[in-house]
Structure 1
Amino acid sequence: MDKVFFHEMMFYAYHGVYPEESRLGQRFTVDLELGLDLRPAAESDDLAKTVNYQAVYETVRSTVEGKPVKLVETLAERVIEQLFAKFPVEYAWVRITKPDPPIPGHYRAVGVEMRRERNRRDE
């Protein structure tokens, strides 16, 4: 399976359990990998036969910067759901990182990773 990837997309949003997260917001980074057959695009040099990077970015941006949630797990699932709804990918892997989490202790970053495969029975 071929893949298209995005590394360290940066957003500012208001997700989190702690009151200061929803009041002040924080940075989030998103890494993304989308699995699909890239041969048709490579052979034809046709953007319509792959995923448009800008459209993927805008989908992720609107989801991450959209309605706040408490859990990064919920946010990651929403990103994947939107990607499956808009793009013909076989799987999506996403990592969402909070680079500066407001939790006691010294952390460089925390976050989640999820990988989901498209369920063809649901189409």
Structure 2
Amino acid sequence: MTESDAATASLRPTDAIVLTGLRVRAHHGVFDFERENGQDFVVDVTAHLDLSPSAVSDDLSRTVHYGELAVEVADAVRRDPVDLIETVAERVAAVVLAHEPVHSVEVTVHKPDAPIEVPFDDVAVRILRGRS
């Protein structure tokens, strides 16, 4: 198996915990008014992990507590303003991957009030990260 094959295999989805539509007010953006006024960001997280140990044992300690994960993700989005939502997405991915059972994560950060001059429904970045 090549290094590329191994990386791809580690990112293959299995079971997942999915958090969709976490709304967080934060002060990210390139423009001064974005930093000063803040805006809402919407985050979707899919944490890939084997859920069978927790399903068989019915033991919360053998999985990731999605309520606690949601709070951790929201805290990561709120802290330290940055220019790019790409940076926010990387920060969220690191928080999720800090949970031992998670082997890969997909993070989407939506910026519904982005300062774009033409009408739009959504702007977002999506990243997929796995354990190194």
TM-score relative to the length of structure 1: 0.92
Query: Which letter maps to 2:126?
Result: E
1:19, distance to aligned residue in structure 2 (A): 1.1
Gaps of 5+ in 1: none
Gaps of 5+ in 2: 1-13
Aligned match for 1:78, one of 91, 101, 118: 91
The 2-side partners of 1:24 and 1:99 are apart by 15
Aligned match for 1:23, one of 36, 40, 59: 36
Asked if 1:116 corresponds to 2:102, the answer is: no
1:41, distance to aligned residue in structure 2 (A): 0.5
Asked if 1:41 corresponds to 2:54, the answer is: yes
The 1-side partners of 2:63 and 2:44 are apart by 19
1:87, distance to aligned residue in structure 2 (A): 4.2
Q: Alignment RMSD, CA only? A: 1.0
Whether the 8 Å contact between 1:97 and 1:110 is mirrored in structure 2 is yes
The 2-side partners of 1:107 and 1:22 are apart by 22
Asked if 1:69 corresponds to 2:50, the answer is: no
Whether the 8 Å contact between 1:100 and 1:108 is mirrored in structure 2 is no
The 2-side partners of 1:90 and 1:23 are apart by 37
Asked if 1:105 corresponds to 2:118, the answer is: yes
1:103, distance to aligned residue in structure 2 (A): 2.2
1:88, distance to aligned residue in structure 2 (A): 2.4
Asked if 1:5 corresponds to 2:18, the answer is: yes
Whether the 8 Å contact between 1:100 and 1:107 is mirrored in structure 2 is no
Q: How many residues are aligned here?
A: 119
% identical aligned pairs:
39
TM-score relative to the length of structure 2: 0.86
Per-residue CA deviation, residues 49-96 of structure 1 (Å, 9 max, x unaligned), is 110011111110110011100000011001111221244201010000
Whether the 8 Å contact between 2:97 and 2:130 is mirrored in structure 1 is no
